[in-house]
């Protein structure tokens, strides 16, 4: 391995990362012990819902060198995913539109992230010789935000997402674990101050206190990870969000500085940035599979996707067409979806009665 000044190598690596389309690059120490007390409290409160995998590999989360032995430094990167600067969520939206979280409207970023991290490793190898490396993109027991925060990529906001002072929070993270002995970056300072906009705007009050999120109430968890019957008291708050939720980010003042994506993978496909609830309700399973190939939306599964749309239709203004379409769908889905179809029909008919 060639001997290069560590500070010069670090600067060169950051330049290469930016050249590959990453919006930022920092070097983190492979140590996340400071995150553990808060995380253990989160688990103890049951805020992780049925994501039991979060209870596993706690030692590896705290000490990344147990996950990848020989790791001396972690190259943390981020990619912006906004295609255009959004309007704040409190601006009234068309109630019949199906709202999908912005990161999920295009291609799944995980492969893009890992592919570019591998390319970065190859470039470094060509410069310094052989070394050990392994790329990750939300794919292992890693405290991604904690590592990135410890090296100055931003601070954890009260909504628990990472915020960058000059770029907001609409970005995804990736890591390259390496055996390189690189100087670590310093943490950034926090700048949320007394602002509580994200807490106040949350439609289901999932941010139970600053920096603590109850997944059992979070629309992102409920519409993506959770496969069961969604509690009735939460359905009205879900509104017309059928996959994920951006509300806590859209209201954040720091996202007035949010940057747009530098790669086309995040561009919306199949009109997912402007599609009606009734149009997407028409998707059969074959259409769903075709239109979500290589998309994060595939993760939720067809039946859960239809469950989410049924809730959106129930929350929409009364329409005879909506009631007819919901009734036509009753024999096409599993019991869980049918529970939500029945509720949606009831909601629609209640609206009709109130308007008469």
Which residue numbers are catalytic?
138
On whether 76 is known to bind a ligand per the annotation, the reply is no
Evaluated on CA atoms 134, 138, 139, 140, the torsion sign reads: positive
On whether 248 is known to bind a ligand per the annotation, the reply is yes
Local structure of 256: helix, strand or coil: helix
On whether 330 is known to bind a ligand per the annotation, the reply is no
On whether 192 is known to bind a ligand per the annotation, the reply is yes
On whether 195 is known to bind a ligand per the annotation, the reply is yes
On whether 218 is known to bind a ligand per the annotation, the reply is yes
On whether 227 is known to bind a ligand per the annotation, the reply is yes
On whether 252 is known to bind a ligand per the annotation, the reply is yes
On whether 245 is known to bind a ligand per the annotation, the reply is yes
On whether the CB atoms of residues 135 and 176 are closer than 8 A, the answer is: yes
Residue-by-residue DSSP string for 229-254: PPPHHHHHHHTTEEE---HHHHT-GG
On whether 278 is known to bind a ligand per the annotation, the reply is no
On whether 287 is known to bind a ligand per the annotation, the reply is no
- Cα separations in angstroms, 341 against 119, 298, 344: 47, 21, 5
On whether the CB atoms of residues 91 and 233 are closer than 8 A, the answer is: no
On whether 198 is known to bind a ligand per the annotation, the reply is yes
CA–CA distance, 342 with 314 (Å, rounded to integer): 9
On whether the CB atoms of residues 315 and 127 are closer than 8 A, the answer is: no
On whether 54 is known to bind a ligand per the annotation, the reply is no
Both tokens assigned to 13: 């690596």
On whether the CB atoms of residues 269 and 106 are closer than 8 A, the answer is: yes
Both tokens assigned to 202: 């949350």
User: Which H or E run contains 15?
Assistant: helix 6-19
On whether 176 is known to bind a ligand per the annotation, the reply is no
On whether 24 is known to bind a ligand per the annotation, the reply is no
Phi, psi for residue 109 in degrees, rounded to 5: -75, -15
Phi, psi for residue 164 in degrees, rounded to 5: -105, 135
CA atoms within 13 A on the CB side of 214: 14
- Nearest Cα neighbor of 133 from 122, 142, 146, 143 is 122
**Known binding-site residue numbers for cob(II)alamin:** 61, 138, 156, 162, 173, 245-246
**Known binding-site residue numbers for [4Fe-4S] cluster:** 192, 195, 198, 202, 218, 245, 248, 252
**Known binding-site residue numbers:** 61, 138, 156, 162, 173, 192, 195, 198, 202, 218, 227, 245-246, 248, 252
**Known binding-site residue numbers for tRNA:** 227
């Amino acid at each position: 391995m060639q001997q290069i000044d560590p500070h010069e190598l670090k600067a060169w690596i950051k330049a290469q990362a930016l050249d590959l389309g990453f919006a930022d690059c920092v070097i983190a120490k492979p140590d996340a012990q400071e995150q553990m007390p808060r995380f253990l409290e989160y688990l103890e409160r049951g805020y992780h819902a049925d994501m039991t995998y979060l209870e596993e590999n706690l030692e590896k989360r705290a000490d990344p060198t147990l996950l990848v032995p020989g790791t001396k430094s972690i190259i943390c990167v981020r990619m912006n995913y906004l295609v255009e600067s959004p309007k704040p969520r409190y601006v009234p939206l068309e109630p019949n539109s199906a709202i999908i979280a912005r990161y999920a409207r295009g291609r799944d970023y995980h492969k893009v992230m890992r592919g570019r991290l591998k390319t970065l490793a190859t470039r470094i190898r060509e410069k310094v010789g052989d070394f050990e490396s392994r790329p990750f993109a939300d794919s292992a027991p890693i405290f991604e935000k904690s590592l990135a925060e410890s090296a100055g990529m931003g601070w954890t906001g009260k909504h628990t997402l990472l915020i960058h002072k000059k770029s907001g929070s609409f970005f995804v993270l990736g890591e390259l674990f390496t055996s390189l002995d690189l100087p670590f970056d310093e943490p950034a300072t926090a700048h949320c101050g007394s602002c509580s906009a994200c807490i106040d705007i949350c439609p289901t009050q999932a941010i139970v206190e600053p920096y603590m999120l109850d997944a059992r109430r979070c629309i992102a968890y409920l519409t993506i990870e959770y496969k069961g019957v969604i509690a009735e008291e939460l359905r009205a708050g879900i509104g017309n969000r059928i996959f994920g939720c951006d509300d806590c980010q859209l209201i954040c003042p720091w996202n007035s500085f949010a940057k747009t994506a530098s790669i086309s993978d995040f561009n919306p496909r199949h009109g997912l940035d402007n599609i009606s609830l009734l149009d997407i309700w028409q998707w059969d399973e074959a259409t769903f599979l075709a239109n979500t190939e290589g998309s994060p939306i595939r993760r939720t599964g067809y039946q859960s996707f239809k469950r989410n749309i049924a809730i959106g239709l129930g929350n929409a203004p009364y329409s005879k067409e909506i009631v007819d379409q919901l009734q036509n769908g009753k024999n096409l889905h599993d019991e869980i979806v049918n529970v939500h179809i029945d509720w949606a029909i009831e909601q629609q008919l209640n609206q009709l009665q109130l308007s008469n």
